[in-house]
Amino acid sequence: MDMMKMRRNKSSRLFDMQTISLKFIIVILWIITGDECRKVHVQTGGSVTIPCHYESKYTQHKKYWCYHSLGLYHSCSILAYANETKGDVSVIDHPDQSLFTVTMRDLQHKNTGTYWCAVEIEGIIHDVTEQLNITIQSAPDLSVMSSSVTVDEGGNISVQCLYTSTYNNKTKQWCRYKEKRCYTVGKSGTSEYSVEISDDGSGSYTVVMFGLMKSESGWYYCSIGDLHVPVQVTVTVAKVSVGDEQVTVKYSVAGTTTAVTTDSSSR
């Protein structure tokens, strides 16, 4: 009987050691294979909204925003969970878009550090995270004139991205978070819209998107090197008055009007 008990105890210890080793391996793999870190610069006293995308299978999982000044995730402090506001931090989940947004206000130099978008996973598997380095500066190396743009469907938008002289010779881009699709200086076309980027070479480049469809609503960013600045683009359905009624204007991919439908709710 004692011999059987000793064997069980030995097996139990071996299982515990294997479990600990597995956890250690998972942590090491996460460190080695983690996603590229986004870097965001924000003006002192300003605010920023960060989009955090996640896979649709995590819709029901808890999301949170975590911070550590020295970049140690396992020691980070959870600043807020989704759909709550704590101090100057608000986190809002948008499950229909498979993303949550984090807004931080009145940022000061002490807020410089490493942050994580995180989705809580139970068990020994590590939480799903994306790392960001946020730096608070009196004069940010990369910024935008407006972080939110709204346009009627079929219309155009213009976004001005400002940079310091350090980045004069760096590649300037305009990217969409969802598909991680980027455009560089020049003119690019898709089946749905075209993008034109012009750089004045002295601290500013301008992005113009033509013929936007409602499906192009979402989060984009100005990018130079590893610096990102988020911009939210909202494309609304255009409505016009016809007599005493309002109708919704629908556009084809080419941007021409194809049909109008009566908006009976406006009668």
Amino acid identity of 179? E
pLDDT in tens, 138-186: 999 999 999 999 999 999 999 999 999 999 989 999 999 888 889 998 7
pLDDT at 229 (0 to 100): 96
The whole-angstrom separation of Cα 134 and Cα 227 is 10
pLDDT in tens, 206-239: 999 999 999 999 999 999 988 999 999 999 986 6
Clarify whether residues 206 and 221 are in a common domain.
yes
pLDDT at 85 (0 to 100): 97
Last residue of a domain, one of 137, 156, 190: 137
pLDDT at 179 (0 to 100): 81
Clarify whether residues 98 and 58 are in a common domain.
yes
Clarify whether residues 52 and 116 are in a common domain.
yes
Last residue of a domain, one of 78, 112, 137: 137
Is residue 246 situated within a structural domain? no
Q: What does the block give as tokens for 232?
A: 């939210």
**pLDDT surpassing 80 at residue 187:** no
Is residue 187 situated within a structural domain? yes
When computed from its CA atoms, the radius of gyration of the chain, rounded to whole angstroms, is 24
Rounded to an integer, the average pLDDT of 255-266 is: 42
Pairing of strands 128-137, 38-43: parallel
Amino acid identity of 118? A
Lowest mean pLDDT among 45-49, 131-135, 263-267: 263-267
**pLDDT surpassing 70 at residue 262:** no
Domain that holds residue 223: 142-236
For the chain, the domain total comes to 3
The whole-angstrom separation of Cα 69 and Cα 72 is 8
Q: How far from 155 is each of 146, 148, 162, 213, CA to CA, in Å? A: 18, 15, 23, 8
Clarify whether residues 88 and 117 are in a common domain.
yes
Last residue of a domain, one of 89, 110, 137: 137
CB atoms under 10 Å from CB of 197, counted, come to 21
Lowest mean pLDDT among 8-17, 113-122, 214-223, 258-267: 258-267
pLDDT at 122 (0 to 100): 84
Average pLDDT, rounded, for the chain = 80
Rounded to an integer, the average pLDDT of 48-67 is: 96
Clarify whether residues 133 and 76 are in a common domain.
yes
Residues contacting residue 170 through CB under 8 Å, at least 6 positions apart: 163, 224, 225
pLDDT at 38 (0 to 100): 87
The whole-angstrom separation of Cα 221 and Cα 117 is 17
pLDDT at 125 (0 to 100): 76
With 0-12 CB in 10 A as exposed, 13-18 as middle and 19+ as buried, what is 65? Answer: buried
The whole-angstrom separation of Cα 151 and Cα 210 is 11
Clarify whether residues 222 and 193 are in a common domain.
yes
The whole-angstrom separation of Cα 208 and Cα 158 is 4
Is residue 15 situated within a structural domain? yes
Question: Residue 203: which CATH number?
Answer: 2.60.40.10
The pLDDT confidence band at residue 5, using thresholds 50, 70 and 90, is: very low
pLDDT in tens, 21-55: 333 333 333 333 344 688 999 999 999 999 999 99
**pLDDT surpassing 80 at residue 11:** no
Q: How far from 65 is each of 68, 93, 201, 219, CA to CA, in Å? A: 11, 11, 36, 18
Is residue 75 situated within a structural domain? yes
Q: Which residue has the tokens 């009987």?
A: 1
Clarify whether residues 207 and 220 are in a common domain.
yes
Is residue 118 situated within a structural domain? yes
Amino acid identity of 222? C
Clarify whether residues 132 and 44 are in a common domain.
yes
The pLDDT confidence band at residue 245, using thresholds 50, 70 and 90, is: low
